[in-house]
Structures are given as structure tokens and as C-alpha cells.
Structure 1
Amino acid sequence: MPQRAKSLANSLPWLARLSPALLGVMIFIFIGAVSLAALLRYSDLSLWPQYLSEAYLWRVIRFSLWQALLSSGLSILVAIPVASCLMHRSFPGRGLLLQLFAVSMVVPTIVAILGIVVVYGRSGWLFQLFGVQVPLYGLFGILIAHVFLNMPLATRLLLQGYGLIPAGQWRQSSQLGLGRWQAFRLIEWHYLKKVLPGAFVLTFMLCFSSFAVVLSLGGGPKSSTLEVAIYQALRFDFDLNKASFLALLQVCICTLFAMLVYRLTPTNRQDMSLLASNRYLLRDSWCAKVSDGVFFTIMLLLVLPPFVAIFDPLFSATFWQTLQSAGLWRAVGVSLKIALPAALLSLLLALCFGVLARHCLGRVGVHWLPDKLEHLSNLILMVPGLVIATGLFLWLRDFGWGLSSGYWVVVWVNAVMALPFVMRALMPTLYQQEKRFRHLYASLGIWGLSRWRLEWPLIRLSLAQAFAYALLLSLGDMGVIAIFGSQGLLSLPLYLFQLIGSYRLEEGACVAVVLISLCILLFYSSLRLIGGKSHAVH
């Protein structure tokens, strides 16, 4: 008993230091739980067997799974050779391409869709130049959009896997004269297979829960997904019972899929001695050059044309007329009013998760907690943001706040929707600093703000990237705002969607230029202001 009391006394200082992080995580869990509880309170469980017997539901589930598997599989298949090429070859514009990948990861979906329509549409560039008609509205269009959005993300995740390879192994493979295929088989694959399952699960969940892409390019009910079905149940029918049923069904499917993949996943651990991996030249061959050239060309054809197409209206007379529209600038103001607090809130939540996770890293009795915290932060990929927003709105309405709470619901849901991306940008650096300097800080008695001041030069770039990702994701969101949007809460993506829906395509294309330009400006401003002068995107 005295031993237990002594152990409790020793743990009290740690609990006091970690109390802000614990509070943040508990608020995250509490709001998520009450949102789902509020939604389930309006549900009638007796009707759920009837929903399960509907043929339409099973058709939606099959299509959701099929398009997500195809989209994530194609993204990974292209990303593997592209990441290998970027790792082993230096060429002019490589840094610019990596920065383009960083931006394309968080480019507003509705803008990406517009660029894809300009390139692949019925009267698009492909038809004008080669006379090729692409069946854009349906599965093929959904796959093009998902690969455009997710292949850069998968590539950057695989490049992180390459960063785990010790420099000594590269040096030894160069000394032995290994070729690209031999190095891939003997060295690279051992590390990539630790990263691939996580990258595949992330891209699968993003494609499975895709909303704007399917809504815009689905082409009808036969190409509908669970996310779109939830939106229809909430927006058009306000059927909370059916929406909650579909949401729980989506959570179950995503959870089972993630458990199945992660069960086969090797443990991914970063070497604490690695700050950067040097590049050593391997034996080259014509086969490696041809392979790199083919996949690099495929990547450029997938990524560059939609980006260029977005800026096509820049020099038109309509663009300058659009800039004079008062509605455009009201929408810009609303988007910034949502995105800035959402990004700050997402970064604060990620720091709460990160501080708690890195304290428990490798400690006896709580060594399992970091992985669980990371999985908890990824739950928003399984639970539709539309459903969380609706449940939170209903819970706030019970307290009499009603429609006035719509803005804060949008801000909160955007913050938690960006949390998985913020965590991926932040956690590797936090773990690395913990492994390298934990014992030094403990021996010198450095804690709290004193530690953060010392670590600031080392983590500020990761913090800048995390904030930039959250800012752009919130700026380009069209899911939650589609439910709560009104004349007083009309964001730039929703304004663009309304223009396209009313067949004002030229004006919509001009608004897309403003939106993507604003995203690029905010992205690099965040990196410069927070990340400092050495703000290159790695």
C-alpha cells in the first residue's frame, strides 16, 4: 500500500503537466460522443431492418467499396514508382514538383473537379486536341478525380517511408553496385511495406467517404455512395433515423476494413538517429530510366493539366468582371472567418494529442497509448462529418441555440476533419524530438514552456505545414457547409458550386481561380510566417 501511494505521488506532477493536453483530448471525445448520442436519440431502431432489406442500399454499399478500392489502389500503384523516382533522381523542378504535391493534397475538391471538367469534359481540352470523348460522369470520372487528389498524398507518405531508411544502407548498396530493382527488393521494400498499409487505409477512407467528387461527377443514383446518401437523407428528407443508420453502417465498414489491413501491418518505428537521409547513387540502367520516364509522364499527365486548366480564365474579360462582384468577396470573408479559427483549433487539438502521445512513448504501462491516440484522431475519416455536424447541431438546439450555432458547428467539424492530416504532419517530428532528447530534458529538469522554447526551431516547420494543411482543408470544405450554408453563411466553395449548378460556368471558373489563388497565398504565407525563411516543403 505505501508503494502504491508513492507511485501515485510520483505520477501527480506528470498529470499536472499533462492536464491541458488531457483536457483537449477529453473535449474532443466528449463532443464526438454527445453528437452521436444526440443523433441516435432521434432514431427509431425498429426501422433499421427495413433499411437493410432495401436493394438500393446494397447497391450503394457495393459501389462505395468498389470505387474506393479502385481509387486507392490506382493511387498507390502510381505513387510507388513515382516516389522511387523522386528519391533516386535529381532534376530541375524537383522541389517545385514536391511543393505542387503539397498543395494538391489540400486543393479544394470543387476546384479540382472544375479543372478536371475543363480537361476531360465533353468540350474539354482532350476532345478539342485529339477528338477523344471521355465518359467523365460516372465511375471513370470519379477515379480520375480521386487519383488526382490522393496520388500526391500517397507519394508523400511513401517518401516518408524512404526517410526511415538509414543512410548506412544506402551507402552500402552504392558500394556494392546494386541496381534500382535490387535495392528496391532488398532494402526499400522492407521499409515501404510498413508505410503502405497506412497510406492505403487513409486513401481508401478518403475515397470511401468522398462527397463533393461523387456529388459532382457521379452522374446519377447508380454512382451514389454512402456519404451522398447521408447528405440526401439529411438535406432533402431530414430523415435523422436513416442518416444515423447509414452513418453507423459507414463507421462499421471503415472500422472493419482498417482492422483487417492493420492486422497485417508491420510496426512502423522511426530511428531516432535519423534527421535526414543522404542520397547515394545506385547503378543505373536503361530499364530503370524507361520505367521512371513512363510513370513520371503518367503522373504529370494526371496532375498538371487540371492545375493549368484552373488558371485558364485568368486573362479573360469575365474574370475581371467577377472580381467586382460583391457576392464573391462576401464569400471570401465567410471562408476566412471559418478557416482561420478552424485551423487554429485543429492545430491545438493535434498538439494535445501529440503531447500526450509522445509522453507515453516507450513508457512502461502506457506504451500502447500513442497508437490508440493516433487511431482516435483518425476517427473522423470513419464517421461522416455531415453526421457529426447534424448531431452537434441537434445537441446545441436542445440548449436553445438553434440556427445561431451553425457557424460554430461548421468551425468545429472542419477542425476535426483536418485533424488526421495535421497529426501526420506533426507527429513524426514530435516523436523524433522525444526519442532524441527525453533523457537530457529529464536530467536538466526542463519541462513545459521551457522545453517548447528549445524545440521551437526544430518543430516550427512541421507546425507551419500542419497549420497550412488545416487552413486549406477548412477553406475548401464543401461537405458540412452544404448542410448549414445559408445567405449569411455562404463560403467560397459553396458559392462556386451554386454558380456551376445554375450553369454560370464561366463565372464559376473565375471564382475557382480566386479560390485556388487564395489557397496558394495562404499556404506559402503560413509556411513563411510560422516556418521561417527555410520554409521549403520537403
Structure 2
Amino acid sequence: MPARRGMSGERIGGALALAFILGFVALALAPFVRFGRVGGFDPQLAGVLQFTLWQAVLSTLLSVFFGAIVALSVARRPTLAGRVWLLRFMAAPMGLPALAVAFGVLAVWGREGAFNSVLSFLGISPKLNVYGITGILIAHTFFNIPLAARLFTAALDRFPPTYWKLAANLGLGRISLFRLVEGPALMAALPGVAGLIFMLCATSFTLVLTLGGGPAATTLEVAIYQALKFDFEPGRAVFLVLVQMLLTGLVLLFLAVFPTPAEERAQQGTGLRRFDGGSPVSKLWDGLVIAAFLVFCGAPFMAILIDGLRADFPHLFADRLFWRALETSAALGLSAALLALLLSWLIAMARVSSGSRLFAGGLDAGGSLILLTPPIVLSTGWFLWLKGGSGFAPHLLVAIINALMALPFALRVLQPAVRSHVERTRRLSESLGLTGHQRLRIIDVPALSRPLLMAFFFALSLSLGDLGAVALFGGEGFVTLPWLIYARLGSYRTTDAAALTLILAVICMAFAVLGTPSERRRGEAGR
């Protein structure tokens, strides 16, 4: 009976979280219907839809392919010096604002960037044109190759050391090891990784707006923004939103067919020995792969660092607007991260305890609903609801939108760990009669502290670097670091913008470090 009451409480918590998400999104979409009828399909929309799918598919294929190659090399080197820092570096791009990444890409790959300078030095022409599909693919792969590599590395690190010992005793070669061990692990994680990256690329906004280079490179997200911001055609915007929701909904339906692999404790560091990477050829290949990955993903960071260090930091630190923006960003980030962690915990626990496929499917869809509905649409809908209210402050609204934006990523970290934990400790909890907050305090939180911290800091980094939800409300009375970067760029104060971007990047990387436990903490957790 105690176990049944606990399960019922978990389902109620998940239902409340789902109701909150659905209610918030539904209320945001309702005002659009009042401003005009829903638009229809036209030839221009066909081109927008085609480009959206084309760039998302290409970005996903490139990110998954190269992410898997990097993951195989990293997983083959569990005792690599600085491996934990490499894993932390994989989380850093997700914390950068997309606008800063766009300018970092321009600094490296643009017409006057480092890559074209090398081509000119070598006498090679024509130069690379970074605007259009090329720049979009470069920016998307910058974000998503590290994401794919980290998720694939985690899938490979779940294997216990006995797997690799058995493979060595059987004398499995490189091809056989990949076919029997590594390949199945990658394939099990592939649907979730590819689906997540596809939806991120299909709903990309800032990168496409900055690097698209014209109407020929317009995605559904940008078309929605144009319909709301410039044309003010809510009916057309609603139709575009429905098309986008249908597109990403089909992806979620496809992903629901594939089970999420259970996450066991990662076997890293000195506790794991791989016997398949001792040859000089293997060491050389892994070294080249990791070096190429660091160069590709590190070059925009270096460009941001070099441009940022040229700024006048004493003058910047004397600006009260900077400190107000930092304070607002911190408050919004912490609020959004805590809310994302709470929602992801309620959904994950309800998902494990649910015996209904329909309810479980609803929880999965609710956790990924923000990928279906753009933040700019949620912001605009709530602005239309509340713009007539006196003394309206957007802080709470933006925090909720940022929390929903981070929810799919927090769930990706937390849900597999919760499933594995509940399967291991269910009988122990029932035998001890631990339910509710007692089980949470004694069993759940201590055992799940690592994924909880990872989900929290990941959500915090995403919220700190977001511009989409703030863009509509930003102004002198509501300033965040990303909005201040955007404003400085708009007023051609690029040096200050580079310095602000550097500060934001350092903060997000610090949270990435806190969210990735060291090898010693992994060992302590295992004991």
C-alpha cells in the first residue's frame, strides 16, 4: 500500500507538470486567433518548408556522423589526460548565445576570416562564402557535434569493464568490436540524438536570421518572426506554427517507437581499461580526431576571446547597465533552471511509474513541447495577453519560457538515470516503507545527485545564453546579458559586444565545469 500511494503521488506530480506546460502554451497561442483568420498554404511557404527540412537534415547528418567519430575516439581513451575537461568542453557551445556564435563563425569562416586568410596565403580562390546554407551548416554543426559526441560517449561509457575484457579475450578486431559492441550502443542512442538535433536545427532562429543571407535561406522559425514583427499577420503566423508543430510532432512520434536506453553509471577513469586502442595507428587516429574536433569547435571561442580582450574592461565594469544586466540574467537563469529541474523531475518520476502508454506518451510530448512551439511565439502570445496590464513585469514570463526551453535537455540527462535508479531501488524502498519525501531525502537525492546537478547547470547555461524570449521585452527597464550584446551590436559598439560575449562564455563554461563531475567524484559516487 505505501508503494501504491507513492506511485499515485508521482503520477499526480507528472499530471500537474504536464497541465502547467500545456496550459502555458495554450494560453500563449490563444491571442493569435483573435487577430485574424488562420492563413493558408502558398508557394512561398513551400520554399520555406523545403529549406527548413533540407538544412535540418543536412545539419543532423553531419552532426551525428562526426559526433559519433569523435565519441568513438574519446570512449577508446578512458585514461586520456584531461578527458574530463574534454567532456566539459563539449557542453560549452550550448551555453553560448547563438548571436555570439554567429559572429564567432564569421570571424573564423567569413570573407575576411581566418580560414579565407589561409586560402589567400596559399593562393587558393575563390573564397568561402559563409552566408547561406554553408554558414548555417557550420554554425549548426558547431553547436551539435559536441552535443552528439557527448551523448554518444555517455552511451559507450555505460558498458562495464567486463565487456572490454571479454572482447580482448575473444580477440575481436576493430571491425568486429564495432559491429558487436560499439555499433549497437551508438544505434540505441541514435534515434534520440538525431531527433533532438533535427528539432533544434528545424527550429533554429538566430543563426538562420544572421547567416542566412537573404529570403532564399528562410526557415519556418524566421518566417514566423517576420510575420509577427514586420508584417503583423497573426493568422499567417498561426498557420506557420501549426506547420512547424506538425513537422516536429511527426519526429516525436517517430522517436516514440524507439525505447530510451537505460543509463548505468558511467565507467570512466582508472576503473576502466580498453584493450583495443594500444596500436600506434589507433593512437594516431584518435589523436587526430580529437585535435580536429578541438580546432573546429575551439576556433570560434578563440575568436571571441581575442576580440573580447581588446575591450576596455574598466569602462565596461563602471557601467551600471552591465551590472543590472548581469543581475537580471542571474535571477532569470536560476529561476528557469530550478523550474526546469522541478518539471523534469516530476515528469521523469511519473514516466517511470506510469502504467499507461497514453499517459507516458503525453509526458514525453509535454517535455518536448517547446521544440514544437518557438519561444518567439510564446513571448508574443503572452505579450498580447498582458500588454494592457498595468505594471506588467516580464521577468517571470521569460523565466518560464526559458525553463520550458531547457526542459528537453534536462529530461535527456535526468530521465534515463531516474529509470535506472528506480529499477534498482524499488524493492528496497518498499521493504523499508519509504515513500514521498522520506524516499526522496534518503534514497533518491543522494543517488541521483550527479544527474540532478548536470541537468540544473545545463538548464542554467541555456537560460543565461538565450535571446529569443528576451528579444520582445528587452529594453532599458529589462536588460539581460544577451540582450545587451544584441543592443551593443546594433549600435556598432562591437568591442563592447565582444567583451560581454567573452564574459558570458566564461560564466557558461564555469557552469559546464560544475555540471561535469571529476574522476574522483565519479569514483566516490560509485562506492
> TM-score scaled by structure 2?
0.89
- The partner residue of 1:141 within 135, 142, 148 is 135
| Distance in 2 of aligned mates of 1:410 and 1:416 | 10
From 68, 74, 88, give the equivalent of 1:86. Answer: 74
Q: 2:15 aligns with which of 22, 46, 61?
A: 22
The two structures, once aligned, show a CA RMSD in angstroms of 2.9
The aligned counterpart of 2:404 is 416
Q: Secondary structure in 1 aligned to 2:392?
A: helix
Is 1:250 matched with 2:244?
yes
CA distance in 2, matches of 1:527, 1:186: 29
**Pairwise CA distance, 1:321:** 3.0
In structure 2, the gaps of 5 or more residues are none
| Contact kept in structure 2, 1:230 and 1:243, CA below 8 Å | yes
- Give the match for residue 4 of structure 1: none
Does the residue aligned with 1:404 lie in a helix, a strand or coil? coil
AA matched with 1:411 = A
For 2:216 and 2:207, locate their aligned partners in 1 and report how far apart those are by CA, in whole Å. Answer: 14
**Aligned twin of 1:270:** 262
Tell me if the contact between 2:248 and 2:372 (Cα under 8 Å) persists in the aligned partners.
yes
Aligned to 1:442: 430
Distance across 2 between alignment mates of 1:26 and 1:97: 39
Given candidates 374, 388, 392, the residue that maps to 2:378 is 388
Cα deviation, residue 461, structure 1: 1.6
Equivalent residue of 2:241, what SS?
helix
Count of aligned residue pairs for this structure pair: 515
Map 1:94-493; keep pairs closer than 5 Å.
94-131=83-120, 133-260=127-254, 263=257, 265=258, 267-270=259-262, 276=267, 278-282=272-276, 284-285=278-279, 288-289=282-283, 291-316=285-310, 318-360=312-354, 365-366=355-356, 369-370=359-360, 372-396=362-386, 401=389, 404-454=392-442, 455-493=444-482
For residue 239 of structure 1, report the CA deviation from its aligned partner: 2.1
State whether residues 386 and 392 of structure 2, in contact with CA within 8 Å, keep that contact through their aligned partners in structure 1. Answer: no
Q: Which runs of 5+ in 1 are unaligned?
A: 1-6
- What is the CA distance between 1:479 and its match in structure 2? 0.9
Match of 1:178, SS state, is coil
Distance 1:374 1:16, change over 3 A: closer
TM-score by length of 1: 0.88
The 1:279/1:104 distance shift into structure 2, 3 A limit, reads farther
Shift of 1:457: 2.3
User: Offset at 1:291?
Assistant: 4.2
C-alpha separation in 2, matches of 1:280 and 1:10: 41
- CA 1:141–1:403: 2 relative to 1, 3 Å: farther
Indicate if the aligned counterparts of 1:108 and 1:472 stay in contact, CA closer than 8 A.
Answer: no
Amino acid corresponding to residue 145 of structure 1 in structure 2: A
Amino acid at match of 1:23: L
Assess, with a 3 A threshold, how the Cα gap between structure 1 residues 279 and 13 changes in structure 2: closer, same or farther: closer
Contact in 2 for aligned 1:393/1:402 (Cα 8 Å): no
Q: Greater RCO between the two (CA within 8 Å, min separation 6)?
A: 2
Q: Residues 343 and 470 of structure 1 are in contact (CA less than 8 Å); yes or no, is this contact kept in structure 2?
A: yes
SS of 2:477's partner is coil
Partners of 1:370 and 1:78 lie apart in 2 by: 32
Q: Distance in 1 between matches of 2:70 and 2:390?
A: 49
Identity of aligned residues (%): 34
By how many angstroms is 1:231 displaced? Answer: 1.2
C-alpha deviation, 1:175, in angstroms: 0.9
| 1:11 Cα deviation from its structure 2 partner | 5.6
C-alpha change, 1:257 and 1:268, in structure 2 (3 Å) is closer
Please give the alpha-carbon distance, in whole angstroms, between the structure 1 residues aligned to 2:243 and 2:56.
16
CA separation in 1, counterparts of 2:231 and 2:391? 18
Tell me by how many angstroms 1:409 deviates. Answer: 2.0
SS at match of 2:415: helix
> What is the CA–CA distance in structure 1 between the aligned matches of 2:166 and 2:506, rounded to whole Å?
45
Distance 2:417 2:255 in 1: 25
Question: Amino acid of the residue matched to residue 276 of structure 1?
Answer: Q
Output one character per residue of 1:80-120: Cα deviation in whole Å (capped at 9) or x when no partner: 11101011124322221111112223322222222222222
For residues 311 and 293 of structure 2, the distance between their equivalents in structure 1, rounded to whole angstroms, comes to 33
Secondary structure of the residue that 2:267 maps to in structure 1? coil
C-alpha distance in 2 between matches for 1:524 and 1:161: 20
CA–CA distance in structure 2, aligned partners of residues 11 and 459 of structure 1: 22
Distance of 1:126 and 1:275 partners within structure 2:
38
